[in-house]
Amino acid sequence: MGIIIFIYGLVIGSFLNLCIYRIPNNESISYPPSHCTSCGNKIKWYDLIPVISYIILKGRCRFCNEKISVMYPLIEAFTGILFVSLYYKYGLSFYFFKYAVFVSTLIVIGMIDLKTTDVYFNTIVFGIITGIAFTLLKFHNNIILSNILGAAFSAGIIALIVILTKGMGWGDVEICFVSGLYLGFKLSIIMLFLSFVLGAIVGIVLIVLKIKSRKDFIPFGPFISIASIFTVFWGEKMINLYINKLML
């Protein structure tokens, strides 16, 4: 079963690539079929096999020989690994489907933010609608309250930072709203904490390595995405560890 889930993840990853590329260009994600972004030639079905096609074609277009970004197979492989990890953690349960949709949304939002430093509203709307849907499917007062609190709290903290320091953007507020809605209140705190730690570490490394200067803008969305994915897998563990420490 694991291998089927992995292949399913690869295929979804391939679709996420298409979203990452087309949404910022205001192109439809359903039409036209996949084509080379350089020469426009339609890509043959046998060249659309996730990861494998990239290796067979040695990372180049069959027609114009233009290099294909290594991000494509990496996103496919990453999605496949995430899906199979979710499967081993949650089985084919409600939480598998919920978090599969969540991590897929985060990959698209995070990657688009990384590439364009913009957050696209339709991706946020998708996150909010699915987040509400999954909240209502597990209809339980505590869960509904926790998810609403998570969304309001995460978005609120970042909004405060935006207003006070202008160091982040309203796009970050929107991503945190989606993440809070999916994760609930307790896990949202972990997610925020990890985003800041991750952002600080990467920011310092980029400045020390002189890749970015202190004045450069570094999009924060990718950190929220990675932190949220991390929280899906290890958030509960981190909370338990912390509570155990308090007890000792």
Binding site residues, Zn ion, CB under 5 A: 36, 38-39, 61, 63-64, 66
| Structure-token match 């909240």, residue found | 135
Smallest separation (angstroms) from Zn ion to the CB of 60: 8
Distance CA 176, CA 50 (A): 30
Distance CA 106, CA 21 (A): 15
3-state SS, residue 42: strand
Nearer to Zn ion, 61 or 108 (CB): 61
Distance CA 6, CA 84 (A): 5
222 upstream amide cis, omega within 30 of 0: no
**Residue 176 · residue 155 · CB < 8 Å:** yes
Nearer to Zn ion, 66 or 236 (CB): 66
3-state SS, residue 57: coil
CB atoms within 10 A of CB 161: 16
Nearer to Zn ion, 60 or 186 (CB): 60
Smallest separation (angstroms) from Zn ion to the CB of 187: 43
Nearer to Zn ion, 64 or 125 (CB): 64
Smallest separation (angstroms) from Zn ion to the CB of 40: 7
Smallest separation (angstroms) from Zn ion to the CB of 44: 12
**Residue 162 · residue 168 · CB < 8 Å:** yes
Nearer to Zn ion, 61 or 109 (CB): 61
Smallest separation (angstroms) from Zn ion to the CB of 114: 24
